[in-house]
Copies of this chain bind each other. A is one copy, B any other.
Amino acid sequence: MDVNDALIDEAVKIYKVLSNKNRIKILYFLENHEADVSSIVDHLSIDQPVVSHQLAILYQYQLVTKTKQGKHMYYCLDDPHILKMVDAMLGHVSHEIKGEPHQY
């Protein structure tokens, strides 16, 4: 594998984005449908300014897209591939928690 420095920098940025519970929860909430800010606030019980702020970060790093419809801003997962990677990580930690050995 070509372990290029600039590439690692970019990967580190995405890992920082994923290093936050609220952002992960938002990504999962968007897994199967787009949603506006209020519905995210309601379903995840996170304060509105916090949701807006985290969505702005997810948008900045192109993990979500947004579309305005009247008063509502609809956010959509822009990257199912990212969620696949998060799935893999959740699978990994779930084995860690159970004390199971790694799978190769």
A residues adjacent to B (C-beta < 8 A): 1, 3, 5-12, 14-16, 18-21, 24-25, 28, 31, 62, 78-82, 85-90, 92-94, 96-97, 102-104
In the complex, A24 Cα to B28 Cα: how many Å? Answer: 26
A46 nearest CB across to chain B (Å) = 13
A52 nearest CB across to chain B (Å) = 20
For residue A97, which residues in chain B have a CB less than 8 angstroms away from its CB?
Answer: 6-7, 10
The reply to whether A102 and B89 form a contact with Cβ atoms under 8 Å apart is no
For residue A16, which residues in chain B have a CB less than 8 angstroms away from its CB?
Answer: 15, 19
Knowing A19-B12, A24-B12, the reply to whether A92 touches B85 (Cβ < 8 A) is yes
The reply to whether B11 and A93 form a contact with Cβ atoms under 8 Å apart is yes
The reply to whether A82 and B87 form a contact with Cβ atoms under 8 Å apart is no
The reply to whether A102 and B79 form a contact with Cβ atoms under 8 Å apart is yes
